[in-house]
Amino acid sequence: MKKTGMLNRDIASVLARMGHTDTLIIADCGLPIPDEIMTIDLSIKLGTPDFLSVLESVADDMTIEKMALAEEIKTSNLALHSKLKTDYAGIPTTYLSHENLKRETSNAKAVIRTGETTPFANVILKSGVIF
């Protein structure tokens, strides 16, 4: 049994298979996910687990080159946007419309679905390289 790092076997497996520029999405419980995209559904009930807890655990184990958020988070989820800008200030952030973010799910290595219920709590994480 693993002692440290990501304990969820499905997430650990995806992270181990990611290469430079591959993307992983952490999503709220409402984001539509195409059937053909690997989905790791962590949702237990509304709000559990929350988006930030999952992002923090993934970020501890993943080299993140860039992240993308929905433009709408700036006005519709100020608290989450502020927390992301503070906690992940060293990671370049881009914005795209929520519609385009939903389209990008079809290019992701996987989507991790949380129980998050606040608006626009979705992020596309672009994998960096460790050297």
- Known binding site: residues? 28, 98, 120-122
- Known binding site for substrate: residues? 28, 98, 120-122
Q: Is 81 a catalytic residue?
A: no
- Residue 76 gets the label, from left (phi > 0), alpha (psi -120 to 50) or beta, of alpha
The encoded tokens of residue 21 equal 């520029």
Given 7, 9, 17, 20, the catalytic residue? 20
Residues recognised as catalytic: 20
